[in-house]
């Protein structure tokens, strides 16, 4: 059954609840008024208005102060719960508004076993531990769809994203490495050149970024006669590593992929005549995304990668 003070349907001021709690804690309206730096008459009138609204006496008054009535103890217990929830609501709203709480969804199609993306996500989580960080690894086409429909806040990818209205910022670059068995003849070299791959079998995943790596290989070795044999597998990068350890071929990987160690595999830098081969990463997000958590992530990117700030 509802309490009488809950059934009248009239608004109770939160300040009235705070004043009543202060009087209960002090055991005196006068002392509570002094603590709150308000007039005694103001506090007394507020408590009487509260009692009128809820239909019960909260206090028994005497010359020695105030004492909670049985009904008043129940009222004040509920009042404390209400004020605690209000305080939580305000604090949460402020944190969300500052980007200190909430949820951020980040899409990518690369490894986070090492490199800049891993370091960025780690620092972001350390700075904003109350933000739920959701990571999504999909093909670039599927990530573009997710960005378009709003299920992903930001993409960190290489290459282009087919969206006409997204905002793009350059971030960092990573070296391309050759992954091969430690017993492979090329493993004895510190550096491998693209032309060294001619007689090899290169294993690539059909999933991103395998397609970009194949395109890069074709651009570096223009003549079909000078290219290695390319095998495309509908498997993850981890399975490709297993195939390499079985000595079925070698592969191309991004620098960020080397954090996930695999027994029997080594990595070597891949170069052409001008030096190491690198690919560029960029961030993509919708300009109309007003998620405060996204704003705080973009500010972190600007701090870590100054080129981002200079593009603004």
Could you read off the pLDDT of 293-307 as tens digits, one per residue?
999 999 999 999 986
Q: What's the pLDDT at 260?
A: 73
Tokens found for residue 150: 């709003």
d(CA 283, CA 304): 13
Which residue's structure tokens are 């999933």?
207
Residue 94: pLDDT band by 50, 70, 90 thresholds?
Answer: low
d(CA 62, CA 231): 91
Q: Is the peptide bond before 209 cis (omega within 30 degrees of 0)?
A: yes
d(CA 75, CA 71): 6
Tokens found for residue 85: 């929830």
For the chain, domains (ranges, CATH) are 4-97 (1.10.10.10), 102-172+279-310 (3.40.190.10), 174-278 (3.40.190.10)
Contact 112/256 with Cβ under 8 angstroms? yes
For 3-17, what is each residue's pLDDT tens digit? 444 444 568 888 888
Contact 6/56 with Cβ under 8 angstroms? no
For 231-250, what is each residue's pLDDT tens digit? 999 888 889 999 999 999 99
Q: What's the pLDDT at 149?
A: 86
For 100-125, what is each residue's pLDDT tens digit? 558 899 998 887 777 899 999 999 99
Mean pLDDT for the stretch of residues 28-35: 88
Residue 1 has pLDDT above 60, yes or no: no
Query: Considering the chain, what is the average pLDDT of its residues?
Result: 85
Based on its alpha-carbon atoms, the radius of gyration of the chain, rounded to whole angstroms, reads 32
Residue 154 has pLDDT above 90, yes or no: yes
β-pair partners for 177: 253, 269
Which residue's structure tokens are 């009235």?
16
Task: Please give the residue that has the higher pLDDT: either 87 or 130.
Answer: 130
Task: Please give the residue that has the higher pLDDT: either 42 or 209.
Answer: 42
Predicted TM-score (pTM) of the model is 0.64
Q: What's the pLDDT at 222?
A: 80
d(CA 263, CA 205): 20
Which residue's structure tokens are 């609501």?
89
Distances (CA, A) of 21 to 11, 39, 52, 67, 89: 18, 16, 16, 12, 20
Q: What's the pLDDT at 65?
A: 87
């Amino acid at each position: 059954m509802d309490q009488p003070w809950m059934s009248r349907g009239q608004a109770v001021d939160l300040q009235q609840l705070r004043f009543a709690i202060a009087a209960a804690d002090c055991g005196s309206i006068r002392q509570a008024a002094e603590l709150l730096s308000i007039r005694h008459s103001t506090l007394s009138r507020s408590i009487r208005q509260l009692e009128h609204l809820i239909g019960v006496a909260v206090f028994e008054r005497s010359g020695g102060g105030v004492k909670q009535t049985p009904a008043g103890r129940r009222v004040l217990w509920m009042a404390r719960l209400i004020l605690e929830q209000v305080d939580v609501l305000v604090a949460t709203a402020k944190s969300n508004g500052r980007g200190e709480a909430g949820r951020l969804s980040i899409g990518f199609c690369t490894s986070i076993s090492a490199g800049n993306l891993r370091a960025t996500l780690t620092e972001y989580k350390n700075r904003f531990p109350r933000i739920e960080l959701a990571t999504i690894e999909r093909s670039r086409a599927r990530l573009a769809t997710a960005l378009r429909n709003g299920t992903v806040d930001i993409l960190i990818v290489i290459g282009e994203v087919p969206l006409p209205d997204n905002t793009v910022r350059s971030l960092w670059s990573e070296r391309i490495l050759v992954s091969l068995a430690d017993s492979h003849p090329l493993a004895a070299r510190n550096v491998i050149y693209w032309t060294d791959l001619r007689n090899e079998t290169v294993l690539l995943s059909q999933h991103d970024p395998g397609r970009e790596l194949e395109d890069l290989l074709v651009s570096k070795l223009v003549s079909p006669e000078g290219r290695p044999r390319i095998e495309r597998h509908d498997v993850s990068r981890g399975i490709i590593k297993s195939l390499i350890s079985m000595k079925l071929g070698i592969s191309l990987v991004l620098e960020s992929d080397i954090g996930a160690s695999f027994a029997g595999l080594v990595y070597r830098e891949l170069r052409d005549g001008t030096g190491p081969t690198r690919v560029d990463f960029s961030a993509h997000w919708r300009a109309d995304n007003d998620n405060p958590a996204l704003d705080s992530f973009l500010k972190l990117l600007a701090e870590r990668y100054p080129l981002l700030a200079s593009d603004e």
